[in-house]
A and B are shown apart, each in its own frame.
Chain A
Amino acid sequence: MRNLALQLLIRLAIAAGGSALTAVVGHAQSAPAAPTAAATAPAQPPQGGIRFEQTTPVAGGKWTGKRLADGQPDIAGDWSNTVGNHNNFIDPQGGIPNDPQDRGRPVKPRERRAPSRVSDPPDGQLPYLPWARAKQQEFQDGFFNNTRPEYVEPLARCAPAGIPKSFYWHGYEIRQYPGYVVFLFNSGSRIIYLDNHRHLPANISLWQGDSRGHWEGNTLVVDVGNLNAKARLGRTGDFTTENVHVVERYIFDNGNKRYDYVATFTDPTAFSRPFTVTIPARRWTVDDEPNGWHYEVPLANNPGKERIGDHLERICVENNGGFGRVATSAKK
């Protein structure tokens, strides 16, 4: 495979924690590191960078927008997180702690940076039990000093980004069908079953969990069981355990350009109380410039006809697949 070496280099760069911040500018992985990510003015219109785009929370309520034939709100399409990336879970613009190269080092004071992804407890901290806090610190300290296998974040090994990291790890696509909502992430995918069946037997554990959902007005409510909890929450060592249970609420704005992901995590093995994660997202369309982070969707080859976004294969298997396919192919 001709491109193996190039893709391996890209993967290594990402594993080292560098390239996500390079995605601040348009053509993500071909751009040099941009350490001033956090300095980007929030008021500027989004141009494909990883910045803090301040939005007002989307309220739950009635859905007044378009519906699919089976009655589901029609929210299919391309979406991406609007706040930072996966580097730092509780301080999304705070960079990765202990980064020897200081990439993404915050230049603004904490109160002017994006809020923690933890919206409850109100202090934005994860309510770890003492043993779990010690483990998180160990994983965080080991992130740039991979002396043990568990210090390598699974995503860098091509594992699925899991829950909730999938929602701030590149843009993703939602496809809808009678009875299903399907997520196609940059690394991994998810089928949400809109039925009332019980979860899979408890001895089956999964990277993306077993997802049973239903619609309440403008809100897709999903109960996630069977999580193996192997995916990390960020590059800050944050983790959950196999006993985690997640209830997700995807609250879609009736304008169909925004939604808030609000998920409650309950994991008494590692945390003293449940916590809530909030991740605002926005829609991307063919009117947006493709870029290597939020919207890896080039225009389809459709000469003289409608402009259609082309969703190409995105496979990361042992470093051999298209990792940010648009960016890698653009580099050829």
Chain B
Amino acid sequence: MNKRRVVSSGLHRPVRRTCGRFDLGRLVLLIGLLVFSPVFSQSAQPTPAKIPRVPGGKPDFSGIWQTTSAADYDLEPHSGRKDAPPGAGVVEGNVIPYTPQALEQKKKNFDSRTEDDPRLKCWTLGTPRGIYYPEPFQIFQRPQDLTVFFEFGDSVRTIHTDGTLHPVDQDQEFWLGDSRGHWEGDTLVVDVTDFNDQTWLSRAGDFHDEALHVVERWTLLDANTIDYKATIEDPKIFSKPWNLEVYLYRHREPNFQLIENYCYTLDYDKYYPVPKE
């Protein structure tokens, strides 16, 4: 059984960006409390969330995770449409900074999305799309690596945390990229390089080419929530690096498990083991 040691982490909840009159009022109140009531001010500190940890103390990401966001439908803010629920967007600054030429391609992709999205062929989703695609994935964790096992297509990504570097051959064009991670405090930082150009970043036609470079930051907010941030860089497609952020939630349903989904086999499924007459 997957027993997790839960100990106090010392991790503080992320500071929420606040603006507007209401929050300003709360801030004034808080400052007042801090100034005038030193005893009370201590209890006003956020309670450190308890997160699971592996022996040795690193955060334990083991488990089955899934986003509830609409990120895969469209990363940018969008109204509801026939093929997508509405979403406030997961891109910092709301807009993906395409170069003018790439923006034209993105628009073409959007127009042909019901035919050209590689996910419809069940091709491996890539990084970061696999993470916020609305189907679960499981993380298996050892000191030397994290195995990210996607239900969609049964594809497997290894995040190496053994101190090894990207391969010398940087021209292997992986679907999921080559992932080398390290710990910065309780955050797993993963550098992902050497992609092919066959995957999209969303159903809305967001795309990249082989120069894609992704830096991920994985942080447990509490035992059942991961804050997943990714910086996306691709100088041929984007005028500058940009950031996205989604939360991932742990599946806690009793006996929940991945169910293999080799969906790219469905087109020829009927011929085996013996053709259906």
Question: A residues near B, CB below 8 A?
Answer: 1-3, 69, 135, 148-150, 152, 154, 157-160, 175, 177-180, 182, 184, 188-189, 191, 193, 195, 197, 200, 204, 206-208, 228-231, 239-242, 298, 300-303, 305, 308, 310-313, 315, 317-318, 320-322, 325, 329, 332
Binds A, one of B7-15, B70-78, B149-157: B149-157
Listed A/B pairs (28) with beta-carbon separation below 8 Å:
A1-B173, A150-B271, A150-B275, A152-B268, A154-B265, A154-B272, A159-B268, A175-B142, A177-B141, A178-B2, A179-B1, A191-B149, A191-B257, A230-B273, A300-B160, A300-B162, A301-B168, A303-B165, A311-B158, A312-B167, A315-B176, A318-B264, A321-B124, A322-B172, A322-B174, A325-B172, A329-B169, A329-B172
**Number of residue pairs across A and B with beta carbons under 8 Å?**
149
Chain B positions within 8 Å of A178 at CB level = 1-3
State which residues 226-277 of B face A: CB under 8 Å. 255, 257-260, 262, 264-265, 268-269, 271-275
A159 lies within 8 A of B262 (CB): yes
Q: In the complex, how many angstroms separate the beta carbon of B255 from the nearest chain A beta carbon? A: 6
Contact with A301, one of B2, B165, B198 (Cβ below 8 angstroms): B165
B274 lies within 8 A of A318 (CB): no
Name which residue of chain B comes closest to A158, CB basis: B264
B140 lies within 8 A of A317 (CB): no
B200 on the A face (CB < 8 A): no
Contact with A195, one of B1, B62, B122, B178 (Cβ below 8 angstroms): B1
Question: B residues near A, CB below 8 A?
Answer: 1-3, 55, 62, 121-124, 138, 140-142, 144, 147, 149, 153-158, 160, 162-169, 171-176, 178, 196-198, 255, 257-260, 262, 264-265, 268-269, 271-275
Q: In the complex, how many angstroms separate the beta carbon of A274 from the nearest chain B beta carbon? A: 18
Chain B positions within 8 Å of A321 at CB level = 124, 175
Chain A positions within 8 Å of B169 at CB level = 329, 332
A204 lies within 8 A of B265 (CB): no
Interface of B is mostly: loop
Q: In the complex, how many angstroms separate the beta carbon of B228 from the nearest chain A beta carbon? A: 20
A312 lies within 8 A of B174 (CB): yes
Chain A positions within 8 Å of B274 at CB level = 135, 150, 239, 241
Please measure, in the bound complex, the distance between the C-alpha atom of A24 and the C-alpha atom of B158, giving whole angstroms: 29
Apart from A231-B272, A308-B162, what are 14 other A-B pairs with CB-CB below 8 Å?
A: A1-B197, A1-B198, A135-B274, A149-B271, A150-B271, A150-B274, A177-B62, A178-B1, A182-B140, A204-B259, A302-B165, A313-B176, A317-B123, A329-B172
B275 lies within 8 A of A301 (CB): no
B271 lies within 8 A of A317 (CB): no
Please measure, in the bound complex, the distance between the C-alpha atom of A196 and the C-alpha atom of B271, giving whole angstroms: 34
Please measure, in the bound complex, the distance between the C-alpha atom of A305 and the C-alpha atom of B162, giving whole angstroms: 11
Q: In the complex, how many angstroms separate the beta carbon of B268 from the nearest chain A beta carbon? A: 6
Q: In the complex, how many angstroms separate the beta carbon of A330 from the nearest chain B beta carbon? A: 9
B260 lies within 8 A of A182 (CB): no
Chain A positions within 8 Å of B138 at CB level = 191
User: Closest 8 CB pairs between A and B?
Assistant: A230-B272, A300-B164, A150-B271, A301-B165, A179-B2, A149-B271, A229-B273, A313-B174
Name which residue of chain A comes closest to B141, CB basis: A177
Chain B positions within 8 Å of A303 at CB level = 165
Contact with A312, one of B62, B178, B257, B275 (Cβ below 8 angstroms): B178
Chain B positions within 8 Å of A159 at CB level = 262, 265, 268
The winner among A2, A135, A298, A320 for most chain B CB atoms within 10 A is A320
B140 lies within 8 A of A3 (CB): no
Q: In the complex, how many angstroms separate the beta carbon of A284 from the nearest chain B beta carbon? A: 17
B173 lies within 8 A of A2 (CB): yes
Q: In the complex, how many angstroms separate the beta carbon of B239 from the nearest chain A beta carbon? A: 25
Please measure, in the bound complex, the distance between the C-alpha atom of A84 and the C-alpha atom of B249, giving whole angstroms: 45
Contact with B259, one of A135, A200, A318 (Cβ below 8 angstroms): A200
Chain A positions within 8 Å of B62 at CB level = 177
A317 lies within 8 A of B153 (CB): yes
Name which residue of chain B comes closest to A138, CB basis: B274
Contact with A160, one of B197, B198, B262 (Cβ below 8 angstroms): B262
Q: In the complex, how many angstroms separate the beta carbon of A108 from the nearest chain B beta carbon? A: 33
Q: In the complex, how many angstroms separate the beta carbon of B128 from the nearest chain A beta carbon? A: 15
A188 lies within 8 A of B265 (CB): no
Q: In the complex, how many angstroms separate the beta carbon of A255 from the nearest chain B beta carbon? A: 23
Chain B positions within 8 Å of A177 at CB level = 2, 62, 140-142
Please measure, in the bound complex, the distance between the C-alpha atom of A135 and the C-alpha atom of B174, giving whole angstroms: 39
